[in-house]
């Protein structure tokens, strides 16, 4: 109860801050619109208004404050505007029986989700395979690990269009191309976590295996792999969020297929800030749900395996 | 007398470290006969654990020779000559007690049909019948260590090597486990090598006490324990017991074990 109250307090404070920020952010547009409607604005000249700064302008014109929340294309849309847009493009579409129309965020969320899950599966698989080979081969450890780290310093935004072009020339399906781009981000936390996890058995546990003359394969399946479970789940949580980012970035390059990334792009083409923000919030919600789902699986698995109680 | 089960001759082991060589073992010779219960006692760095690890082929000696059942330590390990008990129980949290005891059987390729008999038998030996389906965290530290002894016994090794197995437990639990270990030894006639820090533990358990001292790690005294095999816990208050304990203490002092 107490924690719920503190969470609500924080959320209320954030929304309050958001509303407050709308005033200076949208005050210029509000002034222009008010002037067009024949209202008095001080100062009357636009260049002068720009010179004096947003906050000073807002302070001089308290009469404009109400209108900063009612613009079609505000620089910063207010929470209720984003909320209304989200409602209209999700439940509102369902009510009209058009849940999977092109204007529905449900459709775009689903497109992003499928690319995310595919990329997450690719990335997890690649990450585990790389980690296993790194742990078992010193040559891999020395040669591949630096490349893996280097790969993450290349901006995904730069590499995504190249992946799209290369895969398109190989006539690979768009969904798989998006999965590959998403994998590029999500395999990294899995490699790092799994390498640490597979190496987590201590010297005593390894000696114990030795006293039983266990083979490398037996040590792997019976000791290393189960020991890595807590590390794997921690990595998967980071990995799934990274997958979603990768999928959204991929949709910027493959925007003809739709998706939350395509909505972001279209929104920024046409200055539809409300649409951008609702796509952003949609992506954030999707990420939260995915991370929560993995947390759930984590709790269940680790409790079962005796790592938590 | 029969051939020794473990035979060490002029064993040397030098670790190369950044601070120069460390003589973990120097000129260590020792015969352990079948059915012996030999305790190794001495301060840290005296080589008692290292000696056990050499016997178990976890370390390679740099000089001298060691044989287990007439074989090299590696051969003896492949022939399942010994079970090793570490200071920490090291049970896998994702396996039940039965599952943990089954682990070496799986690894060594025992046929599945034999697993149950092996597990039941060793659970009885360590008095953990009825706990097989429990997970390690549901057991106390002492019970966990008993389970780990059961695991070391599961594949019928004749030799049990124990490296401070009760070192992490409190004294009351330790007394109880000492009693149980003697009982187990009496029932199974295993040969036991037992590393400890505790003088009373060494005197209470062993047929022979090997006193060691550090820098370089060496044997300073080997004391035959004249106590009868039947040993109730209160034997530790008898003059005979205190006499032997005194000799162990003397041996440790002679090796300058108290210098630091």
A43-58 tens-digit pLDDT: 888 888 888 888 888 8
Q: Give the separation between CA B100 and CA B12, rounded to whole angstroms.
A: 35
The answer to which of A6-10, A36-40, A305-309, B228-232 has the lowest mean pLDDT is A305-309
- Cα nearest neighbour of B94 on chain A: A305
Q: Which residues of chain A make contact with B107, given a CB cutoff of 8 A?
A: 209, 212-214, 218, 222
B139: phi then psi, degrees, rounded to nearest 5: -110, 155
pLDDT of residue A309: 63
pLDDT of residue A249: 93
How far from the centroid of its chain's Cα atoms is residue A160's Cα?
A: 16
Helices (H), chain A: 2-36, 46-52, 54-60, 79-89, 91-95, 105-136, 138-151, 156-169, 174-198, 203-211, 216-219, 225-227, 229-253, 260-269, 273-304
Highest mean pLDDT among B9-18, B131-140, B164-173: B131-140
Contact B58 A212 (CB under 8 A): no
Q: Which residues of chain B make contact with A208, given a CB cutoff of 8 A?
A: 84, 86, 90
* Most A-contacting residue of B90, B101, B136, B147 (CB-CB within 10 A), to test interface: B90
Contact B78 A213 (CB under 8 A): yes
Residues of chain A with CATH 1.10.3720.10: 105-304
Distance from CA of A198 to the nearest CA of B (A): 15
Mean pLDDT for chain A?
A: 91
Residues of chain B with CATH 3.40.50.300: 26-81+158-260
> What ipTM score was computed for the predicted complex, to two decimals?
0.89
Distance from CA of A305 to the nearest CA of B (A): 4
Q: Secondary structure of chain B: what % helix, strand, coil (to 5)?
A: 40, 25, 35
Q: Which residues of chain A make contact with B68, given a CB cutoff of 8 A?
A: none
Distance from CA of B94 to the nearest CA of A (A): 4
Contact A213 B77 (CB under 8 A): yes
pLDDT of residue B258: 54
Using CB atoms, which residue from A210, A222, A307 is nearest to B103?
Answer: A222
Using CB atoms, which residue from A205, A211, A223 is nearest to B77?
Answer: A211
**CB count in 10 Å sphere of residue B155:** 18
pLDDT of residue A276: 93
For the segment A67-87, the average pLDDT, to the nearest whole number, is 90
Distance from CA of A141 to the nearest CA of B (A): 25
- Please report how the helices A79-89 and A105-136 are oriented relative to each other, as an axis angle in degrees rounded to 10: 90
For the segment A144-169, the average pLDDT, to the nearest whole number, is 90
Using CB atoms, which residue from A218, A222, A307 is nearest to B93?
Answer: A307
Contact B107 A307 (CB under 8 A): no
Contact B82 A211 (CB under 8 A): yes
pLDDT band at B16 (very low <50, low <70, confident <90, very high): confident
Contact A207 B135 (CB under 8 A): no
User: What are the structure tokens assigned to A293, written together?
Assistant: 């789902």
**CATH number for region A105-304:** 1.10.3720.10
Question: What architecture (CATH level 2) is domain B26-81+158-260?
Answer: 3-Layer(aba) Sandwich (3.40)
pLDDT of residue A123: 96
Q: Give the separation between CA B125 and CA B181, rounded to whole angstroms.
A: 9
Contact B95, B148 (CB under 8 A): no
């Amino acid at each position: 109860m107490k924690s719920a109250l503190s969470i609500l307090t924080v959320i209320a404070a954030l929304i309050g801050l958001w509303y407050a920020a709308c005033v200076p952010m949208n005050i210029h547009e509000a002034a222009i619109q008010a002037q067009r409607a024949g209202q008095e604005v001080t100062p009357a000249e636009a260049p002068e208004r720009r010179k004096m700064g947003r906050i000073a302008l807002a302070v001089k014109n308290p009469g404009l404050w109400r209108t900063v929340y009612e613009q079609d294309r505000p620089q910063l849309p207010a929470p209720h505007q984003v909320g209304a847009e989200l409602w209209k493009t999700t439940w509102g579409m369902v009510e009209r029986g058009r849940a999977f129309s092109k204007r529905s965020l449900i459709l775009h969320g689903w497109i992003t989700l499928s690319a995310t899950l595919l990329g997450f599966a690719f990335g997890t698989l690649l990450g585990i395979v790389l980690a296993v080979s790194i742990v078992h081969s010193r040559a891999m450890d020395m040669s591949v690990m630096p490349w893996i780290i280097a790969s993450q310093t290349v901006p995904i935004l730069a590499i995504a269009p190249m992946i799209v072009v290369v895969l398109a020339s190989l006539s690979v399906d768009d969904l798989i191309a998006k999965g590959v781009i998403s994998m590029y981000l999500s395999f990294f936390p899995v490699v790092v976590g799994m390498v640490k996890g597979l190496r987590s058995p201590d010297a005593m546990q390894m000696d114990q295996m030795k006293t039983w003359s266990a083979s490398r394969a037996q040590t792997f399946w019976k000791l290393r792999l189960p020991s890595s479970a807590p590390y794997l789940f921690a990595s998967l949580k980071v990995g799934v969020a990274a997958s979603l980012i990768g999928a959204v970035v991929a949709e910027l390059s493959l925007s003809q297929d739709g998706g939350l990334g395509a909505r972001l792009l279209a929104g920024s083409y046409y200055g539809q800030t409300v649409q951008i923000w609702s796509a952003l919030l949609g992506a954030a919600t999707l990420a939260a749900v995915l991370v929560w789902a993995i947390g759930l699986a984590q709790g269940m698995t680790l409790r079962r395996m005796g790592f938590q109680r | 007398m029969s051939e020794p089960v473990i035979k060490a001759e002029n064993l040397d082991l030098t670790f190369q470290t950044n601070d120069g060589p460390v003589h973990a073992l120097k000129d260590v010779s020792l015969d352990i006969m079948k059915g012996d219960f030999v305790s190794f006692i001495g301060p840290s760095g005296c080589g008692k654990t290292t000696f056990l690890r050499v016997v178990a082929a976890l370390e390679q000696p740099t000089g001298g020779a060691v044989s287990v059942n007439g074989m090299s330590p590696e051969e003896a390990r492949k022939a399942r000559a010994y079970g090793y008990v570490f200071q920490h129980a090291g049970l896998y949290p994702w396996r039940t007690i039965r599952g943990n005891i089954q682990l070496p059987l799986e690894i060594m390729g025992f046929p599945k049909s034999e697993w149950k008999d092996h597990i039941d038998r060793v659970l009885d030996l360590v008095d953990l019948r009825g706990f097989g389906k429990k997970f390690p965290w549901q057991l106390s530290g002492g019970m966990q260590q008993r389970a780990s002894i059961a695991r070391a016994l599961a594949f019928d090794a004749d030799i049990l090597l124990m490296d401070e197995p009760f070192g992490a437990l409190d004294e009351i639990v330790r007394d109880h486990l000492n009693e149980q270990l003697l009982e187990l030894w009496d029932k199974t006639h295993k040969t036991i090598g037992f590393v400890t820090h505790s003088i009373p533990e060494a005197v209470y358990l062993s047929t022979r006490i090997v006193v060691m001292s550090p820098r370089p790690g060496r044997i300073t005294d080997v004391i035959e324990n004249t106590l009868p095999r039947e040993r109730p816990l209160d034997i530790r208050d008898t003059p005979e017991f205190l006499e032997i304990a005194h000799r162990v203490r003397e041996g440790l002092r002679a090796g300058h074990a108290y210098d630091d």
